[in-house]
Amino acid sequence: MEFTVRTTITSDQMATKTVTKSFTAEGFDEIEVVLAPAAADIEVDVCPGAVEGQIKIVQVGEKTGVYPAGLSYKVHEDTAGPVAFTEPHTYLGYQDQISAGAFDKLFFSNAGTGSVTVTVFVARNVVPAP
């Protein structure tokens, strides 16, 4: 499968810049997780047994596009520093954490008072690249 990611940066201080990255992946998964109020470190296995070069892209988002205060996640282990989750996050395969295989798990927390549905999209190779 061919995937294309386009990022457009616009500023009143500079000209608009568009960056396009295309890549192929053998498969993809979309994982949906419902986080109850006060949920902490709910583990999501992004790609079981992930090894270097297997994951091409990970996109994390809140299903409705509303990001309540207190929503966060950690990468790889529940002792990692939390990442504030206030908008969709996209990680491309050439970034260090993904290419090193460290994006195998995410740990979500919801310090809010309402349930939140998070989606995780993963494009990956079934067999790691040699």
Tokens of 126: 């079934």
Of the ranges 11-20, 22-31, 105-114, the best mean pLDDT one: 105-114
The reply to whether 10 falls in a domain is: no
The CATH number assigned to the domain holding 29 equals 2.60.120.10
This prediction's pTM: 0.78
The reply to whether 14 falls in a domain is: no
The reply to whether 15 falls in a domain is: no
Nearest to 90 by CA among 42, 34, 21: 21
Provide the domain limits for residue 66: 25-124
The reply to whether 3 falls in a domain is: no
Query: Burial code of 55-93, b = ≥16 C-beta within 10 A, e = fewer?
Result: bbbbbbbbeeeebbeebbbbbbeeeeebeebeeeeebbb
pLDDT tens per residue across span 55-83: 778 889 898 888 999 999 998 787 778 98
pLDDT at 95 (0 to 100): 55
Domains in the chain, number: 1
- Asked whether the beta carbons of 9 and 31 are under 8 A apart, the reply is no
pLDDT at 41 (0 to 100): 95
- Asked whether the beta carbons of 95 and 18 are under 8 A apart, the reply is no
pLDDT tens per residue across span 17-54: 777 777 778 888 899 999 999 999 999 988 776 666 67
pLDDT at 16 (0 to 100): 79
